[in-house]
A and B are shown apart, each in its own frame.
Chain A
Amino acid sequence: MIHEDMICPFCGCLCDDLVIETEGTEVVRVDNACTLGSHKLMNAGKHRLKAPIMRDSGRWRDATYEEAIEYTAGILLDADRPLLYGWSSTQGEAQGAGVSMAELLGGVIDSTTSVCHGPSILAIQEVGHPGCTLGQVKNRADLIVYWGCNPTEAHPRHMSRYTTYADGYFLENAFRDRKLIIVDVRKTETGSIADEFIQVKPGGDYAVLSALRAIVRGREDVVPPTVAGVTKEQLLRVAALCKEAKFGALFFGVGLTMSPGKYKNVRNAIELVDELNRYTKFTLTPLRGHYNVYGSNEVFTWMTGYPYAVDFSRQIAFYNPGETTAVDILARKECDAALIVASDPGAHFPKKCLEHLTDIPTVLIDPMHTMTTPLVRCQIPTAVTGMDAAGTAYRMDGVPIHVKKFLDLGYPSDTEIITKIFEKVTEVRHP
């Protein structure tokens, strides 16, 4: 069977033009997706956990969904400070149920944002965010800047769908008319096709952004001959390119958010974009990784007022990144039960945090065996959103997309499982 206009549930590009061919419960062909997307989709039915598993005196055994749900509700109810973490590769509906459950439990809910674009959000909370949808960039931008990211590897279709290689309504010959600036600490494949490649010494982003801001403001006199390894000559050239552009679009990744300076780097980038808007049109977009990490920020925000790291222990929604973020809570050994949904802290978190996860009852909701599996006491397999479950996801620019289902492998969706756990919790802890 051929399924057209399907949505790729991998990265924040949420490409929606995929053609997927299935035979029974097998995906036999994927057109239009990049290798990352194809790989995920082609392996849709493989490596799935068949049923929930639970640890019994150190060994895994199969369990029923009812048993696993009962167990999960039990550990959450027993806990004084449960942590509900992950949420970036699942549907918005599941995220919403998660927030309600965290609220009722008086727990903490956090998404992978706190280890990727959390700093971008902190910066936005200080100075705002001049942004736009990706189609606006595609149709108008004659200057693209990628800062601290490598779209060729991490968002392989970003350039063909939305920037460098995309047709633009207001551009005669989009590819020729667009300029590309790449800023990075090393020359990646994306850097080799750039009109300007700016190689910044590690940790030098803040200084380079400041120098560009000074030049744009007409204060090139304060800029020294080199800034973090970048010559003044090049900075002048780049600032001029930005001011001359009719529409500039800056994209940035964790190379900016997680390098020294963190959220201050992003703040500086936003203020540079602000400044440029006094001369021309300029926008900025964080390149979000997980396909629905932005959705978790949206859902958390309309339900609690805060985009991530929300602590309900005081019955109000309390937010203080650095205190209420998952890594911090685990490092302080504060939580006494954890539910991990659609994410893989086992592959990313510091050792200290993982040790604590193994010390407390932890449940993982994930379709496959992951690096987190060895750390948990119970894993509940679910459908993969965008393959055997439908739901809402938010693209990196905030456009909500309905992610579709094209297979039926008989697994329950994340929303179904979380709702069931929530119902059990509600039976004991009435609202």
Chain B
Amino acid sequence: MNELLVKNAYVIDPINHIDGEVMDIAVRDGRIVEDVGPQAEVIDAEGCLTLPGGVDSHTHVCGTKVNFGRYMSPEDMRAGREVRRGVKHATSGYSVPTTYANSYRYAIMGYTTLLEGAMAPLEARHTHEEFSATPLQDMMANTLFDGNWGVMKAVSEGDIERVAAIVGWTLSAVKGFGIKLTNPGGTEAWGYGKDLRCIKDEVPHFGVTPAEIIEAMIQACEMLRLPHSVHLHCNNLGTPGNYACTVGTFNLVPDLNKKRQSLYATHVQFHSYGGSDWKTFRSKAEPVAYTVNNRPQIVIDMGQVMFGKTTTMTADGPMEFNLYRLHHNKWSNHDVELETGSGIIPVLYRKKNLVNSIMWAIGLELGLLVKDPWRCLLTTDNPNGAPFVKYPEIIALLMSKKYRDAEFATVHRRTESRVDLPALDREMDWNEIAVMTRAGQAKALGITGIGKGHLGLGAEADIAVYPLKVGEIDPAQEYQKIIDGFARAKWTVKRGRPVARNGEILVHGENTTIWVDPKISPEHDMSRDPKFTEMFNHWYSVRMSNYPVQDEYLKRNLRIETEATI
């Protein structure tokens, strides 16, 4: 029996409606309990801000694309080198750190659960190998279906049950968590060097449109009763005027689930652009946020851009090629047969650059204009908008108008006429930040039921204590304290075990991989469907029997079985 008592914690736990209560948190065998015995290990929180462990509902930390980002960037590796010490391995990398470095840095910031945003099913084994090497967070992987031939064929036949059956089979086979669509249809078009502009364009050779794919996948997701909704990276990312496509996409979405959203739209900053070219480029965060405010079935994440160097990586291959043509640094592309693709390029977001300055403002505008913090989550789409180590600065920007104004004074001077940011007075409170960085993320992912994102009885004992005395700090004025406080938790507790303290890593832990296994009726079992197996064995370059990820790739894991309606 392993017991821990976190004493004198100033707790904010939005899911359990606790907003600033000083209390003790008792932990036994990794779960939160009523009380513990006198032998329990004690941590004194000293009245500091105590939150559920951070949850990142959209990050890129493990897998083929991430690793290729490292592989092609020795210059980035040199930027983040730390020596091996104690239980801590040597680390490298700033924007795409090594697996260990990602895990340590997240732990130091109080994060305990991460969702890898994009896993190509054919290459899933790689993601799981890196998950096994991630010591301090629980991991999940959204699985890419944007250019899935089986799905697109079933959509063109109008057979939603078949869509669901294919998705279900694939998730079980690759041990994925949820559905990811990245530029749906566009990545297939990129197979021949083309792209789609928006949701009504037809995917070459498949006779379907992104709109049809998105609608079918939303329904299939509900048929499979997946904990998380469809996780969408809209079409037409990063182009001036694309907000109209984004709003059009949002307006498609039906409200199908009482417990959570029907659609999670990711890095919406990159999709809220006005103007007709880069010269007339401007923010359209306002109409996008308006649409979100009026459609409770949609949750978004910010995709905040922060200035400095980073590496962009996405399954949106054509977008990366276009970006490469603007930046001219280096470009990697990796199309995955019958499924998806990806691209990687390094970027430098500069304050001197008008477009970059507007992008920075748009993310913050979204955060401030979406009224309900449960529906606009704090992310950078790590590392696309910025590396996740920038989260504390974003928190401070959301909490302090003074900080925003001070930063705004340093960006490109023509930004003012293109954005609404200076006019926004909202300053977020601690509770809203707790929602945007953990409670809301866990709820959107549908994992509160397995004890994530809250500190109620029976919850996973993932706890972050920050060196912040809520009553003594005015975040609106003392924003540097906010940045420093969130950058380095006083304690990070993972499954009841202290794993980091004041920036030091204390243990070499082991994570849990959370995956979803929808239970589907035998007549919808794709492994026995002749058309599906034939397609598989004819056009993939691996045999169907060699495709599923073997159990041995998952060390400790939590399988969520759902009762599908097919």
Interface residues of A (CB under 8 A from B): 4-5, 7, 16-17, 92, 96, 100, 103-104, 121, 124-136, 138-140, 161-162, 167, 169-170, 246-247, 274, 277, 280-281, 283, 297-298, 301-307, 312, 314-317, 319, 392, 394, 398-402, 431
Contact = CB atoms under 8 A, between A and B. Distances in A.
A124 B67 contact: no
B542 A401 contact: yes
B336 A132 contact: yes
A340 B122 CA distance: 32
B129 A400 contact: yes
B193 A277 contact: yes
Interface stretch (B28-36, B89-97, B381-389): B89-97
Contacts of A302: 62, 67, 70, 98-99, 129-130, 133
Contacts of B338: 135, 139
Nearest to B549: A402
B345 interface: yes
Contacts of B77: 305-306, 317, 319
B486 interface: no
A431 B122 CA distance: 36
B541 A135 contact: yes
B41 interface: no
Contact of B550 (A280, A399, A402): A402
Contacts of B557: none
Interface in B257-292: none
A16 B92 contact: no
A74 B559 CA distance: 43
Size bracket of the B interface: 35 or more
B151 to A, nearest CB: 16
Given A128-B330, A400-B126, A304 B98 contact: yes
10 contacts: A92-B129, A133-B335, A135-B338, A136-B191, A298-B71, A301-B70, A301-B98, A305-B70, A306-B74, A306-B77
Interface in B46-77: 62, 64, 67-68, 70-74, 77
Nearest to A16: B546
Given A128-B332, A302-B99, A134 B541 contact: yes
Nearest to A299: B129
A399 B550 CA distance: 15
Interface of A is mostly: mixed
Given A129-B333, A315-B83, A138 B541 contact: yes
B506 to A, nearest CB: 13
B478 interface: no
Given A124-B332, A129-B334, A302-B98, 7 more contacts: A4-B545, A103-B90, A104-B84, A131-B332, A281-B192, A399-B122, A400-B126
Contacts of A298: 67, 71, 126
B126 A121 contact: no
A319 B89 CA distance: 16
Contacts of B85: 315
Contact of B539 (A7, A124, A169): A169
Interface in B298-341: 321, 324, 330-338, 341
Contact of B334 (A126, A133, A303): A133
A346 B324 CA distance: 44
Contacts of B100: 303
Contacts of A140: 191-192
A305 B541 CA distance: 29
B273 to A, nearest CB: 24
B541 A399 contact: yes
